[in-house]
Amino acid sequence: MADAPYLKCFVPKTEEQEKEEESIYKRYEEIMSTLPREKGWWTEQIYRYQGFWYASVHLPGVMAVQNHFQAHFSDILLATGPKCGTTWFSALVFAVVNRNLYTSSANQHPLHTFNPLVLVPSFEQRLYRNNKIPDLDILPSPRLLATHMPYSSLPQSVFHSGCRVIYICRNTQDAFISLWHFLNKVRAFGSKEPLPLEEAFEMFCKGAYTFGPFWDHALEYWRASLDRPQSVLFLMYEDMKAEPAVHLQRLAKFMGCPFSSEEEKEGVMEGIIRLCSFESLSSWYK
């Protein structure tokens, strides 16, 4: 399999540059040591930073994004809470933006080769990790990026640039249950006992889980979508499931690449919906 596209961002650095980046992340770890802590779902501790909770593996990346990411007007940022449709919407966003390069029926479509989370990489989980500061200017425009970061913690360049932010909100109960099942799989991988549902529910209600609290996270983006509708789009996961064609058109229009009447007649939207369906995505990554 070919290398993940985003890996091109990690250009070779001089020894001095590598030491400087290590020093930057060391300062982030020092800041972490001063923050309030709670027991985590799958890590020993989570840290409260700017009103939200983070695992130690993610928080240095969040700080690095805030200090080093420079947004462009053409950027498209997909923001979600954990287990709120990140993979599905990453596939949809990629397929819509790149439909003139790759038809949905083409065997060589990147979604047949790469996980959508590789094609729309996360700031804190893939790009700004392991003491690395990537050169994102290498990526073609529009840059498609993802994050679980809350709106208030996004770097200031996002607000100043006017780049587009898409937020996906999901039914709270479904998001919680999906997160509980997912993190228990992670715990099992680390030879840990499953977290009891009752204990997980109590922690979720307190907001004490990675990128929580849930409603604070969602409300920030919802309010931003009311204040800056030209820059922030708030979508419900369930609405996309119920009426995919309607909301795919809405998504495409917001991203600046609406479907033409000819594309609608030719079934381009339906092809993208099939390409990004749960059945298609799950069959490729079994």
Residue 192 has pLDDT above 60, yes or no: yes
pTM: 0.95
Residue 281 has pLDDT above 90, yes or no: no
In degrees and rounded to multiples of 5, residue 53 shows phi and psi of -105, 140
The one-letter code for the residue type at 215 is W
| Total residues belonging to the chain | 286
- Whole-number Å distance between alpha carbons of 55 and 3: 27
Catalytic residue among 112, 148, 181, 247: 148
For strands 232-236 and 164-169, give the pairing. parallel
- Whole-number Å distance between alpha carbons of 69 and 136: 8
Q: How many CB atoms lie within 10 A of CB 170?
A: 22
DSSP string of 185-223, one letter each residue? HHHHHTT-PPPPHHHHHHHHHHT-STT--HHHHHHHHHH
Q: Per-residue pLDDT averaged across 175-198, rounded?
A: 92
> Taking a C-beta distance cutoff of 8 angstroms, is the pair 117, 148 a contact?
no
- Whole-number Å distance between alpha carbons of 85 and 83: 6
pLDDT of residue 244: 97
pLDDT of residue 100: 93
Options 1.10.620.20, 3.40.50.300, 3.50.50.60, 3.40.1010.10; CATH of 9-284? 3.40.50.300
> 34-56, pLDDT tens digit by residue?
999 999 888 779 999 999 999 99
> 150-170, pLDDT tens digit by residue?
999 999 999 999 999 999 999
Q: Quick one: pLDDT band at residue 87, thresholds 50, 70, 90?
A: very high
- Whole-number Å distance between alpha carbons of 112 and 145: 19
Q: Quick one: pLDDT band at residue 1, thresholds 50, 70, 90?
A: very low
The yes-or-no answer on residue 148 being catalytic is yes
